[in-house]
Amino acid sequence: MAKPSSLAGKAMLEKIDKLFQCNIGSYIDLPQIVVVGDQSSGKSSVLESLTDLPFPKDSGLCTRFATQITFRRNATEGISIEIIPGKDANGDHARKLRAWSKKGLPTLDQATFATVMHEVHEVMGLASTTDGESASSSIFTNDVLSIHVSGPTQDHLSVIDVPGIFKNPQPPVTESDMRLVENMVMGYMKNPRSVLLTVIPANVDIATQSILQSAKSVDPDGQRTLGVLTKPDLVDKGAEFSVIALIEGHKQSLKLGWSILKNPGQAQANDRLQNILFTHIRREFPKVKSEINKRLAEKQAEISNLGPSRTTASEQRACMIAIGTKFQNIASAAVSANYSGDNVFNDHPELKIATWVRNHNDAFSKNFEARGHKFQFRTGHEETEAKDNHDEEHGKEKKQAKLLKPRSIDTPLDLEDFLQGYEPLQEPKRSGISEWITEIYTNSRGFELGTFNASLLSTLMQSQTENWEALSLGYISDIIALTHTFVDTLLKVVCPDEQLRSSIKIVLMDNLLARYKMALGQVEFILKVERFGDPLTVNKYFNSTMETIRQERIKKELTDKSFNVRRRAGLVGLDQIIQARSMTNTEHVVQELHDILSSYYKVASKRVVDIICMQAASFHLVSGPDTPLTLFSPTWVGELTDEQLEEIAGEDPTTKSRREQLQKECEDLEKGKKILF
């Protein structure tokens, strides 16, 4: 094997050691030699042979955590000791561990080492196994003790010692402690870049050693397992051949082979391990570089997905203002139908609110014109034919009545208690309007001569416009549903953080409902004025329409009486004119009521549609200065108190902890990247 005698080889080993010091081993697999074995396997003797360090023999100071021992050649002799917090260490515990260290120790004799280990146990918060401390205190930990030994005669070598595996825990050690140790040891062993220095007593049946089975489970081909047999002097007579068979690979074949340890010198033990470690590191070094870059990119992306930090009030306000600004920019483009500047409108068509509302306005106008009235108005011959066929058609309508749904948009879940569905409406009756007017007139007339009571038109208008309420409230409910869906969708676009988005929505909801209520109230007000107020218009269209209706009726009536004289058509006799216009007083009043009602209805229905679309929908919900779309804005955020900001945008403990963990990991990985590149 090549020895790491070159400067490049030493530099490579030093870089790996620095990666361990930066805690990179908690994030990616690093090349390392790990000493593993069952309890009482002689592991401590192996470690002392490798390190020449007097590990304490006190049972209370047995291996309770991983220990990394690093040797480096340096002109100055010295020993430094520090603690690397485990990956699961919380912030306060990690800071406490990093604050503790021993620097510049000239030597580490047994008494000094024992004193240091007592301090380490105390700093790590470990309970003693002999003093009867509460079982609530930890006995084992994932923290790592790091010992650096340097001097002019030291060779470059790093080994990691882990607690011995045990199967029968004795109080105060618990089964939970046993599982913690198993998980800790297996974590090191599963690292595909770990060389497993597997310690087995020579005087036992290897089949009883669980550590060997564990090594085989993670390294089935024995590519990175080095077997070490301890206690060869305790082998029973006659069992020597079994040990020899094991060493020769007949029982358990390992690519790195088997060794027998009986107090060899440190240099002899280190020489072989140094070459194994160097060869292993040289092979794995490029992969380590690649994994650090990959892991750093992943963690940076995860931090980005968490959004900006929201710990302080200023951070919370800045975050909310940024989201509100983006919300308003997209909302402004949506109201202006400026869809080409942002792909968000292609990804979320429901944000094209100007188009949706315009299309619903058109549909509302058509529905109102076709189905807003109770009876179909008639003119000329249509009215005459209707009188003859009324009974027959009325019977058909009862059998074939069609229903109209006033709503076409599903109600969002959080508005189900706010918006109504409205019952389906029947199509307008195609005939019978004259009979209907006649009935109402005869049931309400007084002593008028040739005329009618002024309030009669209001009564007719209220009945003829019964469908207006469902049509109008159904329309505005659909626009509210579209608006609410717009707000919901846009919040998801500008605020991917579900918890923050939910908090914003909760605070906005009362104001959103208030603005929806204003739109509904505006429709109700318009309907109240138009349906129950006194009929009123200054629109010239009313008179012109009424005159057109009268002229068309007279024209039709006289056309039926006309005759040709010397190729001149359209002549009507005076007597025939008198006969055509002959009506009873009631018929005259009913016809007059019909013409006035028809003319006024046309004016009022067009007025209602325009006002509802312009005021209730557009002004109150979409394009006005105080619509639901303008609510979530930087101005609104600026008016929030610090307490309100904390309630809305403050990070929950889980996110905050995760962010701190990711930031620490990124800091460590950045340090590791600088070490390698």
Per residue in 514-548, pLDDT (tens digit) is 999 999 999 999 999 999 999 988 888 777 777 77
Q: What is the pLDDT of residue 387?
A: 47
Contact 501, 487 (CB under 8 A): no
Q: Which of 371, 342, 337 is nearest to 357 (CA)?
A: 337
Contact 23, 86 (CB under 8 A): no
Alpha-carbon distance values, 129 to 41, 42, 61, 172 (Å): 20, 20, 9, 6
Give the residue range(s) of CATH 3.40.50.300 domains in the chain: 7-19+27-302+666-676
Contact 105, 112 (CB under 8 A): yes
Backbone angles phi, psi at 633, to 5 degrees: -145, 165
Spatial CB neighbours of 130, under 8 Å, sequence gap ≥ 6: 59, 60
**Bridge pairing between strands 78-84 and 144-151:** antiparallel
Alpha-carbon distance values, 68 to 32, 81, 164, 642, 656 (Å): 10, 10, 15, 48, 31
How many degrees, rounded to 5, is the angle at CA 273 between CA 271 and CA 274? 65
11: left (phi over 0), alpha (psi -120 to 50) or beta: alpha
- Range 7-19+27-302+666-676 has CATH code 3.40.50.300: yes
Q: How far apart are CA 482 and CA 351, in angstroms?
A: 9
Q: What is the pLDDT of residue 107?
A: 86
Q: Which of 566, 575, 363 is nearest to 475 (CA)?
A: 363
Contact 227, 15 (CB under 8 A): no
pLDDT under 50: residue ranges of the chain: 1-5, 132-136, 266, 381-388, 390-391, 397-400, 565-567, 580
Q: Which of 36, 61, 31 is nearest to 47 (CA)?
A: 36
Q: What 3 state SS string does 223-279 have?
A: CCEEEEEECHHHCCCCCHHHHHHHHCCCCCCCCCCEEECCCCCHHHHHHHHHHHHHH
- Paired residues of 195 in beta bridges: 33
- DSSP letter (8 states) at residue 24: G
Q: What 3 state SS string does 86-135 have?
A: CCCCCHHHHHHHHHCEEEEECCCCHHHHHHHHHHHHHHHCECCCCCCCCC
Q: What is the pLDDT of residue 175?
A: 86
- Paired residues of 159 in beta bridges: 33, 69
pLDDT tens per residue, range 331-365: 999 999 999 988 999 999 999 999 999 999 999 99
- Paired residues of 201 in beta bridges: 230
Q: Describe the crossing of helices 313-335 and 642-649 by its angle, rounded to 10 degrees.
A: 70
Q: How far apart are CA 240 and CA 245, in angstroms?
A: 9
Alpha-carbon distance values, 49 to 4, 23, 45, 265 (Å): 21, 27, 6, 7
Q: How far apart are CA 355 and CA 344, in angstroms?
A: 15
